[in-house]
């Protein structure tokens, strides 16, 4: 068994009397715990604090009744932003014609090709959740067609853009909250319009579920009280109006047993939509947006024959499904296609890595030009390979005769905290994006040089797996009450205050008390200090590894174990009651030998 290594983010000690939740929130940077746990409308700001808000709402008002073009950004935040705007404009001005379009290859911002065939009919262009750096494109549109452009965004601003557009952006240095996503700024824009032109605020609040979905999907910091308020309001049952979100939740209700929470939306609903946006056909993407926008359409659906039924058995009767129910199913299908493609590409790349002995390098850099033909899965494949090989990965694809493009992914349990900077420091890569998930450019002539430079900067011997944990606690200081309080706080966890991971040390337990259930002991459970520890879906041999069971020795395992566990605090529901558990993610077991026994052995040796 490899030595279990970890890095603790928050250096603090717990005792039996500590309020674990209070300590966790304090360590996460929550300044006022009571306010954090009781966010309300008073934590929001006037939308007119956003720069150019008056100009923006006046611009929209002056173009109502005409034709408005909305450029839909190709991610969940972009879809929700555009769906909100479309719905709001339809509510306040039903005779306004709205045209929505997107980039089907995940390009962000506006392009001249988006409007060139309809330019004579457009009175206003709106770019929500994008466009703050599309200077050249906006300049060309403004100078060539003189169409006003309204940008409602949250990304970094290129100040040149303000020469050619009306820009409303929470990153303007003036608004007190820069953690709103695109749909969050859209909500502030619509609230401002409603206030200025006498529209009921309820018209805006009808779309709060879209606001919650978009902000959660875009990983906005939920420590900010305004951002948190809008997200939690959108998850409330009375504010859940969107039919597509409801259908997705119904289809995947087994994965949402704790209901509508920040985590369930982020890990269940958003990925299904994002899978279709990234991997669906243009028709599927357009239908997804129509479903999200509330359009009504019935479609025929032919259910599959029941499992085990022969090919000659009659087909079940055709069912009539709404567009929303149809697209919830299509989202799942697209995600399955995407996952299948990732597995297939990974299998081929894995073989290529072995054949080319690329795993002998500390950073795996592979030319996948002839392998991966869909750039929308390159990053996902890189993530999988980084986990398999326990090291950073760069997957390259030919962009021009001279240049590669591609994706870089860091290994989050390795020694490199910022893989993008690591590559940029080689002076041969150009990387842009997040610290450990980004796009890369590399001259083809520099491929061998790049591999060599990475091997110099990171040695093979330095490739170790270091698990990142939030807190460390000794088993004797962990109580059932503390586990329960943290586990019951599942509605709190989100970006900025994630579900905490603990490393629990100094567990001393007889090996015979660790029970394996089911085929191949696929479920492991033991109780220590009144707390249940569980590990589900275990691989074959994990129970033996945990208990240090010698398969060649019959009878009871009489060893005493000294264990370290990395895991989360969760709830187990049984017959209507909830019980706290520690869900084991990783473990290390050693045989416990009392110090007194070691002393006797030393003395005996000395005597002889």
Same domain, 30 and 60: no
Inter-residue contact 79 to 273 (CB < 8 Å) = yes
In sign, the C-alpha dihedral spanning 106, 204, 493, 264 is: negative
**Residues 380 and 336 placed together within one structural domain of the fold:** no
Residues 63/94/82/52 CA torsion (nearest 10 deg) = 30
Query: How do residues 388-403 score in pLDDT, each as one tens digit?
Result: 999 999 999 999 999 9
Which residues, in sequence order, are CB contacts of 581 under 8 Å at separation 6+? 483, 487, 531, 532, 533, 534, 569, 570, 571, 572
Among the listed residues 134, 183, 125, the one whose alpha carbon sits nearest the alpha carbon of residue 154:
183
For residue 304, is it within any domain?
no
103: phi then psi, degrees, rounded to nearest 5? -100, 120
Residue linked to tokens 């002998």: 360
DSSP helix/strand/coil, 90:
helix
pLDDT at 235: 97
C-alpha to C-alpha distance for 70 and 85, rounded to whole angstroms:
8
Q: Which tokens in the block code for residue 257?
A: 């047993």
- Does residue 505 sit in helix, strand or coil? strand
Q: Is residue 220 part of a domain?
A: yes
Strand partners, 68: 98, 124
Q: Residue 442 — φ and ψ, nearest 5°?
A: -150, 130
Q: Domain range for residue 277?
A: 242-297+318-358
Beta strands in 415-493 (DSSP E): 429-433, 437-443, 467-469, 471-474
Return the pLDDT at 596.
61
Q: Is the pLDDT of residue 524 over 70?
A: yes
Residue 388 lies in a domain: yes
Residue 43, burial from CB neighbour count under 10 angstroms (0-12, 13-18, 19+): middle
At 527, the pLDDT band (50, 70, 90 cuts) reads very high
pLDDT at 446: 96
Count the Cβ atoms, other than its own, within 10 Å of residue 446: 17
Place of tokens 């030595």: 3
> Quick one: 261 and 326 in the same domain?
yes
Q: What is the pLDDT, as a whole number, of residue 593?
A: 82
Percentage of the chain exceeding pLDDT 70: 96
Could you tell me if residue 305 is inside a domain? no
Average predicted confidence (pLDDT) for the chain:
92
Residue/partner pairs of 233-236 with CB below 8 Å, 24 or more apart? 233/205, 233/208, 234/208, 234/209, 234/210, 235/209, 235/260, 235/261, 235/262, 235/265
Question: What's the number of CA atoms in the CB half-sphere (13 Å) around residue 40?
Answer: 4
C-alpha 339/C-alpha 332 separation (Å) is 10
Answer whether 181's CB lies under 8 Å from 157's CB. Answer: no
Residue 313 lies in a domain: no
Pair (425, 456) in one structural domain: yes
Q: Among 77-86, 105-114, 166-175, 576-585, name the one with the lowest average pLDDT.
A: 105-114
Instruction: Give pLDDT, residue 105.
Output: 66
With a cut of 90, say whether residue 173 has pLDDT above it: yes
Domain-ending residue, one of 443, 462, 481:
462
Q: Which residues pair with 509 in a beta bridge?
A: 561
Q: What is the domain count for the chain?
A: 4
> Which of residues 398, 427, 462 is at a domain's end?
462
* Same domain, yes or no: 545 and 592: yes
What span, in angstroms and rounded, lies between the C-alpha atoms of 370 and 395? 12
CATH of the domain at 377: 3.10.310.40
Residue 513 maps to which CATH number? 2.40.50
DSSP state of 49: G
204, 225, 241: which is the final residue of a domain?
Answer: 241
Query: 560 in a domain, yes or no?
Result: yes
Which H helix or E strand runs over 571? strand 560-574
Q: Which helix (H) or strand (E) holds 63?
A: helix 53-63
Whether 511 and 590 map to the same domain: the answer is: yes
Q: Is residue 123 within 8 Å of residue 67, measured between CB atoms?
A: yes
Domain match, 18 and 53 both: no
pTM > 0.85: yes or no: yes
Whether 90 and 83 have beta carbons less than 8 Å apart is answered as no
The answer to whether residues 496 and 370 belong to one domain is: no
pLDDT band at 597 (very low <50, low <70, confident <90, very high): low
Residues 135 and 183 in one domain: yes
Residue 601 placed within a domain: no
Mean pLDDT confidence for 307-326? 86
Structure confidence at residue 552 (pLDDT): 64
Highest mean pLDDT among 56-70, 108-122, 134-148: 56-70
User: Across residues 295-307, what is the average pLDDT?
Assistant: 89
Residue 607 placed within a domain: no
Q: Are residues 423 and 289 in the same domain?
A: no
Within 356-479, residue ranges assigned H as helices are 378-389, 419-424, 447-457
Please report the pLDDT score of residue 1 as a whole number.
57
Together in a domain, 203 and 94 = yes
Range from 101-105, 180-184, 570-574 that averages highest in pLDDT: 180-184
DSSP 222: T
Could you tell me if 54 and 91 lie in one domain?
A: yes
Question: Length of the chain, please?
Answer: 608
Query: Residue 301, SS3?
Result: strand
Distances (CA, A) of 27 to 31, 295, 471, 497, 568: 9, 45, 10, 9, 17
Q: Residue 604 — pLDDT band, cuts 50, 70, 90?
A: very low
Contact 77, 128 (CB under 8 A): no
């Amino acid at each position: 068994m490899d030595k279990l290594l970890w890095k603790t983010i928050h250096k603090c000690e717990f005792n039996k009397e500590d309020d674990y939740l209070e300590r966790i929130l304090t360590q996460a940077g929550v300044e006022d715990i009571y306010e954090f746990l009781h966010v309300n409308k008073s934590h929001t700001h006037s939308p007119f604090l956003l720069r150019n808000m008056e100009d923006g709402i006046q611009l929209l008002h002056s173009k109502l009744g005409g034709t408005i073009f909305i450029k839909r950004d190709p991610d969940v935040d972009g879809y929700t932003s555009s769906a909100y705007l479309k719905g709001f404009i339809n509510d306040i001005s039903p005779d306004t014609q709205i045209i929505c379009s997107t980039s089907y290859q995940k390009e962000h911002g506006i392009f001249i090709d988006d409007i060139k065939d309809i330019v004579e009919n457009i009175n206003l262009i709106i770019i929500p959740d994008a466009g703050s750096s599309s200077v050249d494109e906006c300049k060309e549109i403004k100078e060539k067609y003189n169409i006003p452009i309204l940008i409602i965004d949250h990304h970094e601003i290129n100040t040149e853009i303000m020469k050619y557009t009306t820009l409303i952006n929470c990153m303007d240095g003036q608004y007190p909250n820069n953690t709103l996503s695109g749909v969050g700024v859209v909500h502030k824009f619509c609230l401002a319009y409603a206030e200025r032109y006498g529209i009921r605020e309820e018209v805006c609040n009808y779309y709060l579920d879209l606001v919650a979905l978009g902000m959660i999907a875009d990983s906005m910091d939920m420590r900010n009280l305004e951002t948190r308020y809008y997200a939690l309001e959108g998850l409330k049952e009375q504010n859940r109006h969107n039919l597509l979100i409801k259908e997705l939740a119904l289809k995947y209700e087994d994965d949402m047993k704790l209901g509508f929470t920040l985590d369930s939306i982020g890990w269940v609903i958003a990925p299904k939509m994002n899978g279709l946006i990234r991997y669906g056909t243009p028709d599927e993407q357009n239908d997804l947006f129509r479903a999200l926008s509330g359009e009504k359409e019935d479609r025929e659906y032919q259910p599959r024959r029941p499992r085990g039924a022969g090919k000659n058995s009659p087909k079940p009767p055709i069912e009539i499904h709404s567009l929303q129910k149809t697209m919830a199913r299509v989202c799942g299908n697209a995600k399955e296609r995407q996952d299948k493609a990732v597995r297939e590409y990974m299998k081929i790349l894995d073989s290529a890595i072995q054949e080319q002995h690329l795993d002998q390098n500390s950073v795996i850099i592979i030319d996948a030009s002839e392998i991966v033909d869909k750039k929308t899965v390159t990053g996902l494949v890189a993530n999988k390979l980084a986990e398999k090989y326990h090291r950073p990965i760069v997957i390259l694809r030919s962009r021009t005769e001279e240049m590669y493009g591609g994706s870089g992914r860091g290994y989050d349990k390795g020694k490199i905290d910022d893989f993008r900077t690591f590559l940029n420091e080689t002076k041969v890569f150009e990387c842009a994006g997040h610290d450990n998930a980004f796009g890369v450019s590399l001259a083809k002539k520099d491929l061998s040089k790049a591999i060599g430079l990475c091997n110099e900067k990171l040695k093979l011997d330095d490739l170790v797996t270091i698990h990142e944990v939030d807190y460390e606690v000794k088993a004797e200081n962990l109580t059932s009450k503390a586990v329960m309080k943290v586990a019951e706080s599942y509605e709190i966890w989100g970006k900025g205050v994630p579900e905490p991971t603990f490393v629990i040390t100094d567990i001393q337990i007889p090996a015979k008390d660790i029970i394996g259930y089911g085929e191949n002991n696929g479920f492991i459970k033991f109780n220590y200090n009144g707390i249940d520890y569980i590990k589900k879906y275990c691989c074959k041999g994990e129970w033996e590894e945990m208990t240090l069971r010698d398969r060649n020795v019959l009878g009871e395992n009489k060893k005493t174990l000294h264990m370290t566990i990395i895991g989360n605090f969760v709830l187990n529901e049984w017959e209507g009651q909830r019980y706290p558990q520690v869900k084991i993610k990783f473990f290390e077991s050693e045989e416990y030998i009392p110090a007194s026994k070691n002393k006797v052995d030393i003395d005996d040796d000395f005597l002889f």
